Structure 1
């Protein structure tokens, strides 16, 4: 077995973690994105897709993740304000599957269009974080999930760059497939 095969297998194993969607809601905001496979994969997926986009448009490496963060705050504000967003869980699962497909197909939308796509998804993720927030300490909770999101997006961006440099486009496509498979797991588990 060559080194490329070992690296590809390792990437696929990382993507095959068990589905644990929205367990225990009385936790820190930082922990929340790590406890639901849907949020974890979406945020990693945003980073990986940003790395795909950055090949042709380097600014996408920060514009796409920053848009996700900003629009996640909009969604959180809606949740804290008591606004009801319909089909939130379905939109979150769809975001994972669609992001996986965009990565797998190496879709390179213009930066503004990519920002629109992730921005739409982020509203639902932020909303879900807000409605699952503990009754006190909302400010720290928000800061926590924003910090976790930045960390996960940076990890996805780094994984995308490392995978492309060491294993090529096949590794990126495999990561997209793993994100899609994770979205299917979440759909089945719900």
Structure 2
């Protein structure tokens, strides 16, 4: 029931009624940034996995794992802004789905913590890709700030799902990450 209510609330936040106001109070950059992480299943699944893994760790990890991931995402965006070329971005994003899909299934807290720190470097590729997709008619700062805010919300939502679901949902979510990652790897 809580998951259903959360889904309804999320859908209301991104519903077309947001666009019904004609007074120009909502900046295009803000809306684009908020919606961008919701439009790509690869980014959505990885962000949810970060929260899911953090919830399984508990304690400080609930906030520090998303903070680490988002900070590394921001650094990846800076690489793009300063025209640092990173090869194979899409392949690394696909690999991140596989890595985080596997991490969701690890139950040993210490091992999962070490592995999380190891695979967090994938966040750089996600940030790089997000920065590359900033619309030219948008304020880059507004767009990326709202993108990061929505990314945090998705991470925290993944954490809530990780806390409120059992083993079966863990395995289904892991399977979704793994199969999506393998699909994207085949397409790259």
TM value normalised by structure 1: 0.75
Q: Distance between the aligned counterparts of 1:41 and 1:76, measured in 2?
A: 19
Q: Match of 1:154, SS? A: helix
CA distance in 2, matches of 1:111, 1:189: 30
Instruction: Say yes or no: does 1:122 pair with 2:103.
Output: no
Alpha carbons 1:78, 1:127 under 8 Å: kept:
yes
Stretches of structure 2 lacking an aligned partner (at least 5 in a row): 4-28
How far is 1:173 from its partner?
A: 2.5
Residues 100-179 of structure 1: matches in 2 within 5 Å?
A: 100-106=101-107, 108=109, 109=111, 111=113, 114-118=116-120, 120-135=121-136, 136-163=138-165, 168-179=166-177
Which stretches of structure 1, 4 residues or longer, exceed 4 Å deviation after superposition?
A: none
Q: Taking structure 2 as the reference length, what is the TM-score of the superposition?
A: 0.76
Q: Which runs of 5+ in 1 are unaligned?
A: 1-6, 8-25
What is the RMSD computed on CA atoms of the aligned residues? 2.1
Instruction: Judge conservation of contact 2:106–2:112 (CA < 8 Å) in 1.
Output: no
1:188: Cα distance to partner? 4.3
- Whichever of the two has the greater Rg, that structure is 2
Higher helix share: 2
Match of 2:71 in 1: 70
| Alignment equivalent of 1:48, drawn from 35, 48, 52 | 52
Deviation at 1:40, TM superposition (A): 0.8
Query: Is residue 45–residue 100 contact of structure 1 (8 Å, CA) maintained in 2?
Result: yes
